[in-house]
Amino acid sequence: MGIQETTISTTAVAKPHKPLISRVTVALSVIGVLLLMGLLLWGIIALANNYAPQIEAVRDILIIALGLMSCVFAIVLLLLLVMVIRLVNMLEFEIKPILEKTNETISMVRGTTTFVSENVVRPVTKVNSYAAATRRALKTLLGDPRKNLP
């Protein structure tokens, strides 16, 4: 057995991975978003100076929509709360008794195996060991019966 020489191939060396999005793309995206936000703000200010009554109407409509959305969210939260309460009740009154029955069954099986082990397996093992010891003692004292036959 000689010493085996191992070589490391250059393909196994980890190469630095190329980022999915380059820094230039990220920088241009940030600049673009800032420009869009600036244009939006400028547009809102220009509209507020020229069309104040219409902007107030749009503002009032948006406030009403926000209030309606708050009501919808409150209803959804109440439904979620009801579902959580139902889940807790199911866990407490349906699954907990099943788990308790399972624990009782497991303890009964454990007791049965202990009983069988102590009252069946252990005595049978002792009888078999005594029989083997007796057989071996007789074989030692009298010899092998197959060899004693003419």
Is residue 18 situated within a structural domain?
Answer: no
Mean pLDDT over 78-107 rounds to 92
Q: Are 55 and 47 in contact (CB under 8 A)?
A: yes
Is pTM beyond 0.75 here?
no
Residue range of the domain that includes 63: 23-144
**79 falls within a domain:** yes
* CB-CB contact of 142 with 148 (8 Å): yes
Q: Please state, in angstroms and rounded to a whole number, the distance separating the CA atoms of residues 68 and 88.
A: 30
Mean pLDDT of 51-76: 93
Tally of CB atoms within 10 A around 48: 13
Q: Say whether pLDDT at 40 is over 90.
A: yes
Task: Please report the pLDDT score of residue 10 as a whole number.
Answer: 53
Token pair belonging to 67: 């209030």
6: Cβ–Cβ under 8 A, 6 or more apart, which residues? none
Q: At what angle do helices 52-90 and 23-50 cross, to 10 degrees?
A: 120
- For the chain, how many structural domains are there in total? 1
State residue 20's pLDDT score.
83
Q: 93 with 86: CB under 8 angstroms?
A: no
Say yes or no to pLDDT of 117 above 90.
no
Residue 4 lies in a domain: no
Residue 29: the pLDDT is 96
pLDDT exceeds cutoff 70 at 44: yes
Higher pLDDT, 1 or 115: 115
In a domain, 2, yes or no: no
Question: Is residue 8 in a domain?
Answer: no
- Find out whether 73 and 80 touch, Cβ atoms under 8 Å: no
Q: Predicted confidence band at 146 (pLDDT cuts at 50, 70, 90)?
A: confident
Comparing CA positions, the residue from 117, 115, 114 lying closest to residue 126 is 117
Q: Residue 74's pLDDT is what?
A: 97
Residue 6 falls inside a structural domain? no
Higher-scoring residue by pLDDT: 38, 44: 38
Distance CA(66)–CA(59), nearest Å, equals: 10
pLDDT band at 1 (very low <50, low <70, confident <90, very high): very low
